[in-house]
Amino acid sequence: MAAKILLLEDDFILSEIICEFLVESGFNVTHCDNANDALNLAYEKQFDIWLLDVKVPSDNEFGNNFIESSNLPGFELLKTLRETNKTTPCIFITSLSSLQDVQSGYGVGCDDFLKKPFELLELKLRIETLLKRVFKSRLDEFEDFGNGLKFYFVSKILYQDDKKIPLTQKESLLLNLLVQNANSYVSQSVIFDELWELDQEPSELSLRAYIKNIRKIIGKDKILNSHNKGYCYVK
């Protein structure tokens, strides 16, 4: 499955060029042009990498967290996400070039810093290098449901005492989405976006069937549902 990238860039022409190049390179890209939309997307969806510009529009407020440096909302965005334990790797793409700017970027938790203007191939190489490092670190990561049940994040395969438990592709994606957002409700609309392709019609009936099957395997009390909030995996 293609790596999922969140791109925050307010330059319309540049964002189009980057999106087109990354999609052609095999990545799944979601684009937004302001810090507040980026914050919401980062909370609502699971991305493999964030590409964030620094000087972008913002409402000067992230939930209960106000931007301290209103002219550099990209830094404040990542700072806010890191403070809420979001660990998704981040590359800043920015025209800022001073050593102080670079120090500030790494100080708020970025993993790489790419100065504009840059070659698209260099961006791709940096993304691929970071993904290799991240995926390698995740290879042995899993969620332990007890009773020998373990779900591995990278392969998205469920095992019981080293025996593979069959799940459909959408059930695997759904379980991964719920586990990655443990103890938080994931809305039905977000689930539809993650499980169904653009040319597919989401099905609430099918979603209920997937949830029912997963509950049978890991335990009914492990997944809560709320009519208004969606579904929640309870650790």
| CATH, domain range 142-233 | 1.10.10.10
Helix or strand run (H / E) with residue 144:
strand 142-146
Segment 84-88 mean pLDDT: 86
| Residue 128 predicted with pLDDT over 60 | yes
How does DSSP classify residue 3?
P
Per domain, the residue ranges of the chain are: 4-137, 142-233
- For residues 31 and 74, the answer to whether their CB atoms sit within 8 Å is no
Distance CA 225, CA 185 (A): 8
Segment 84-95 mean pLDDT: 90
| CATH, domain range 4-137 | 3.40.50.2300
Enumerate the H helices of 49-119 as residue ranges: 73-83, 99-107
Arithmetic mean of pLDDT over the chain: 87
Amino acid symbol at 1: M
Listed in order, strand segments (DSSP E) in 149-229 are 149-152, 157-160, 163-165, 223-226
pLDDT at 91: 96
Question: Which residues lie closer than 8 Å to 19 by C-beta, 6 or more apart?
Answer: 7, 29, 31
φ and ψ at 100, to 5 degrees?
-65, -40
| Residue 14 predicted with pLDDT over 90 | yes
| Residue 99 predicted with pLDDT over 70 | yes
Q: Is the peptide bond before 117 cis (omega within 30 degrees of 0)?
A: yes
Distance CA 235, CA 221 (A): 10
65 pLDDT band (50/70/90 cuts)?
very low
Task: Please report where in the chains the tokens 């095999």 appear, as a residue.
Answer: 26
| Residue 139 predicted with pLDDT over 50 | yes
pLDDT at 68: 44
CA of residue 192 relative to chain centroid, distance: 15
Segment 191-207 mean pLDDT: 90
Q: Which residues of 6-17 are buried (b: 16+ CB within 10 A; e: fewer)?
A: bbbbeeeeebee
Distance CA 87, CA 205 (A): 33
Distance CA 175, CA 180 (A): 8
Amino acid symbol at 9: E
Better-scored residue on pLDDT, 62 or 192: 192
Cα angle, residue 202 at apex, residues 199 and 207 outer, rounded to 5° = 145
63 pLDDT band (50/70/90 cuts)?
very low
Segment 76-94 mean pLDDT: 90
